[in-house]
Amino acid sequence: MTDSGTADSVDRIIAQWGQVRPGLDVSAMGILGRLSRLTRHFERDLIELFAQHGLQRGEFDLLATLMRADVDGRGLTAGELAGSAMVTSGAITNRLDRLVAKDLVTRETDPSSRRTIRVALTERGRETIDAALHDHVANEERLLSTLTAGQRTQLEELLRALLYEYERST
């Protein structure tokens, strides 16, 4: 429970552990439990939003990657796309097949290297990601709207520190 007297579902779990194992420090469980529960709630909201645009989450990620990383409009290779989107090449292939079928991206041979395939947004893909991105940013603002600007900054700094150390050590 917080100083303000509010309690969430994880507080009840922590209290139960306190009764059956009073000497056990489960504070890390409280933090990770909250992150896990929030992630599930946020994921559900994100999936619903992407579905409104006819997209799955992975498809949104690839379209967004093309929008932000294909700065010269030539398209990205599958390898560049995989690196920027942080997914495996197998996942890229399946997602690209769906996006090509929806006429959201093209997959064409690079004129300067016949062994290289470039993926680029179609006009329809650009329109789709523009609309979805606008709604996605508004949705993320809504998801964080209960936090003050200072709380958001503090949370971002704390999460960055955790992620940096985790990524550095793995």
Cα separation, 121 vs 127, whole angstroms: 9
Contact between 92 and 76 under an 8 Å Cβ cutoff? The reply is: no
Q: What is the pLDDT along the chain (170 residues), one digit of tens a residue?
A: 556 678 999 999 999 999 999 999 999 999 999 999 999 999 999 999 999 999 999 999 999 999 999 988 889 988 888 888 867 777 888 899 999 999 999 999 888 888 888 999 999 999 999 999 999 999 999 999 999 999 999 999 999 999 999 999 98
Handedness of CA 131, 136, 137, 141 (dihedral sign): positive
Based on the number of CB atoms within 10 Å of its own CB, is 121 exposed (0-12), middle (13-18) or buried (19 or more)? buried
All structural domains of the chain, each given as residue ranges with its CATH number in brackets, are: 1-43 (no CATH), 53-144 (1.10.10.10)
Q: Which helix (H) or strand (E) segment is 43 a member of?
A: helix 27-52
Q: What is the pTM of this model?
A: 0.85
Cα separation, 17 vs 30, whole angstroms: 11
